[in-house]
Chain A
């Protein structure tokens, strides 16, 4: 008997779906990356707040097992779950997070006219780029 034949005698009859599962992960890669990114944001925020996953489960009114799944970064999260996470943890998940923030920024911003500024006529400027330090040097020449 060859090594191969002897080895085959040791192999279980059980079939695996490893290649198929692997292929599915590749197919769902874009979505999985989003799930992973959300999981990291959630875990970071929980650390920052000093919250346990159990506390988050209570706040979201879901089971602790559901949170365990979310922080693995593999779940295909529903819009409802994403919205809850965004609102309860105040973390950016959906575009509305920034859209709302933009609205708040505008409502809080008042444009006031200040003293008029005029560029001094006798002043000239020169900017040089230093490729070694990768810095811009700024010269002001006063006449």
Chain B
């Protein structure tokens, strides 16, 4: 397992053992893969498979635009992330964007190391309200916790700072 730099000295990502790419690249590869998304929809008994695929492809484009914006703007990373958990037990999700239209159905998860310094631990297609309620996001929860433990062991982080990448693209609403 490695931590690699994505952008400047601000955004990093885990690159897990056995994976060909870091988490951002790995997830975007899947989220822009028509065949993968179609199979995923079928496995999850989605009614309108093609609409699901089209929606996620559009969501992936938004995330691509977001990374480009992060890389070109001088905005603090905090602007793009919203806190995911309110407690260490990780049971409560803080959703600041509840009820908003045009929400992005893809999630990138990150841990805040310092001001304007984040590391992406993984991500998932949002299939349930709570991360624990779907095996894929539940697996991601495990990855966040493991990453957090590792960073705590190295004395890098000392407080709860899990973040979920904000996906709101106002123009699309």
Interface of A toward B, CB cutoff 8 Å: 2-4, 6-12, 14-16, 18-19, 21-23, 25-26, 29, 32-33, 36, 39-40, 43-44, 68, 71-74
- Most interface-central of A8, A15, A16, A44 (chain B CB within 10 A): A16
Q: Closest residue to A43 on the B side, CB-wise?
A: B38
Name the distance in Å between B144's Cβ and chain A's nearest Cβ: 16
Whether the pair B35, A39 counts as a contact (CB closer than 8 A) is yes
Whether the pair A11, B25 counts as a contact (CB closer than 8 A) is no
Whether the pair A18, B154 counts as a contact (CB closer than 8 A) is no
Assuming the contacts A6-B156, A7-B156, A21-B25, asked whether A40 and B34 have C-beta atoms less than 8 A apart, the reply is yes
> Of B62-70, B96-104, B128-136, B163-171, which stretch is located at the interface?
B62-70
Name the distance in Å between A11's Cβ and chain B's nearest Cβ: 5
Asked whether any CB of chain A lies closer than 8 Å to the CB of B6, the reply is yes
Assuming the contacts A7-B156, A12-B4, A14-B4, asked whether A19 and B67 have C-beta atoms less than 8 A apart, the reply is yes
Q: Closest residue to A71 on the B side, CB-wise?
A: B35
Bin chain B's interface residue count: 35 or more
Asked whether any CB of chain A lies closer than 8 Å to the CB of B44, the reply is no
> Main secondary structure on chain B at its contact with chain A?
mixed
Name the distance in Å between A119's Cβ and chain B's nearest Cβ: 45
- Most interface-central of A19, A29, A68 (chain B CB within 10 A): A19
The 8 Å CB contact of A74, one of B13, B33, B154, is: B33
Of all A-B residue pairs in the complex, the 6 with the closest CB atoms, nearest first, are A73-B34, A39-B34, A12-B2, A71-B35, A4-B114, A7-B156
Q: B25 contacts which chain A residues (CB < 8 A)?
A: 16, 18, 21
Q: Closest residue to A24 on the B side, CB-wise?
A: B64
In chain B between 96 and 125, which residues have their CB closer than 8 angstroms to a CB of chain A? 113-114, 117, 119
Asked whether any CB of chain A lies closer than 8 Å to the CB of B155, the reply is yes
Whether the pair A16, B4 counts as a contact (CB closer than 8 A) is yes
Q: B117 contacts which chain A residues (CB < 8 A)?
A: 3-4, 7
Whether the pair B38, A40 counts as a contact (CB closer than 8 A) is yes
Whether the pair A4, B113 counts as a contact (CB closer than 8 A) is yes
Q: A40 contacts which chain B residues (CB < 8 A)?
A: 34, 38, 50, 53-54
Assuming the contacts A6-B154, A10-B156, A22-B64, asked whether A73 and B35 have C-beta atoms less than 8 A apart, the reply is yes
Whether the pair A44, B113 counts as a contact (CB closer than 8 A) is no
Q: B4 contacts which chain A residues (CB < 8 A)?
A: 11-12, 14-16
Report the Cα distance A25→B25, complex, angstroms. 12
Whether the pair B15, A7 counts as a contact (CB closer than 8 A) is no
Assuming the contacts A3-B156, A7-B117, asked whether A22 and B12 have C-beta atoms less than 8 A apart, the reply is no
Q: B156 contacts which chain A residues (CB < 8 A)?
A: 3, 6-7, 10
The 8 Å CB contact of A19, one of B9, B38, B53, B71, is: B71
In chain B between 29 and 87, which residues have their CB closer than 8 angstroms to a CB of chain A? 32-36, 38, 50, 53-54, 57, 61, 64-65, 67-68, 71
Q: A23 contacts which chain B residues (CB < 8 A)?
A: 68, 71
Report the Cα distance A68→B65, complex, angstroms. 27
